[in-house]
Amino acid sequence: MTVRVMLADDHAVVRAGYRFLLDQIGNIQIVGEAEDSDSAYHQYFTHSPDVLVLDLSLPGAGGLAVIRRILARDSNARILVFTMHEEVLYAKRALEAGAKGYISKNSDPEILPQAIERIAKGESYILESIAQQLVLQYATGEGGKHPMLVLTNREFEVFCLATQGLTIHEIAENLHISQKTTANYITHIKRKLGVNTVAELVRLAYLYEVTLD
């Protein structure tokens, strides 16, 4: 059975590398590509791939928002996150948003086609090292020590965009929500994290290495 795959990554050279790798696999066909959040969302429904291979660091709203938007419209979507972020916090957020798999770009090359084939069959695939961290840090409750875990998934998305320097208007446009809702989110985020300004949010992002750039 041929597995129809769509690639969403903002670097054309990286997508070309994926395509070259996956073209060597006889049963995988690349049916589409996207370079930012909005095109990833719209092209997903244009091509209806069996598996969407998605980077978290997409221009615009980011990969987490893409996962949420796609699954809101297609609850059966099979999304594999393929990213540089190996921190367990990002894996947890992506899986909570509905991704079926999570692997690192630092993985061995054969991991990507293996993960695609597993997810196409309706299974999940999480890189072993990340899965172990999830078990150790979150199944035991230890992960609750990370301050970002007090944020909801939507608040975490707003946090990431705000700490990239986006205005309320820009965040609202990227996430397709109103400016009033965005401002409310930022107020709640500041309260939860115990800060008063966006500059302090940026400092927290730097301190805890939280960024989707």
CATH topology of domain 146-207: Arc Repressor Mutant, subunit A (1.10.10)
Tell me the per-residue pLDDT of 117-168, one tens digit each, with 9 for 90 and over: 999 999 888 887 777 666 655 544 544 456 677 788 788 888 888 887 889 9
> What architecture does CATH give domain 3-139?
3-Layer(aba) Sandwich (3.40)
Give just the sign of the alpha carbon dihedral 139, 143, 148, 149: positive
| pLDDT on residue 132 | 67
Query: Does the pLDDT value for residue 32 go beyond 70?
Result: yes
The pair of three-digit structure tokens given for residue 135, joined into one six-digit string: 């078990």
The pair of three-digit structure tokens given for residue 49, joined into one six-digit string: 């791939």
Tell me the per-residue pLDDT of 72-122, one tens digit each, with 9 for 90 and over: 999 999 999 998 877 777 888 888 889 999 998 888 888 999 999 999 999
| pLDDT on residue 137 | 59
Report which of residues 89 and 186 the model is more confident about.
186
Report which of residues 31 and 137 the model is more confident about.
31
- Evaluate whether 63 touches 32 at the Cβ level (below 8 Å): no
Phi-psi region at 2: left, alpha or beta (left = phi > 0; alpha = psi -120 to 50): beta
Query: Does the pLDDT value for residue 205 go beyond 70?
Result: yes
DSSP state of 83: E
- Evaluate whether 65 touches 54 at the Cβ level (below 8 Å): no
CA distances to 8, 35, 36, 81, 99 from 152, in Å: 25, 26, 23, 19, 16
30-56 mean pLDDT? 95
Query: Domain map of the chain by residue range?
Result: 3-139, 146-207
| pLDDT on residue 136 | 58
Residue 170: other Cβ atoms inside 10 A = 16
Grouping H, G, I as helix, E, B as strand and the rest as coil, residue 34 is strand
| pLDDT on residue 80 | 96
pTM for this entry: 0.70
- Evaluate whether 46 touches 53 at the Cβ level (below 8 Å): no
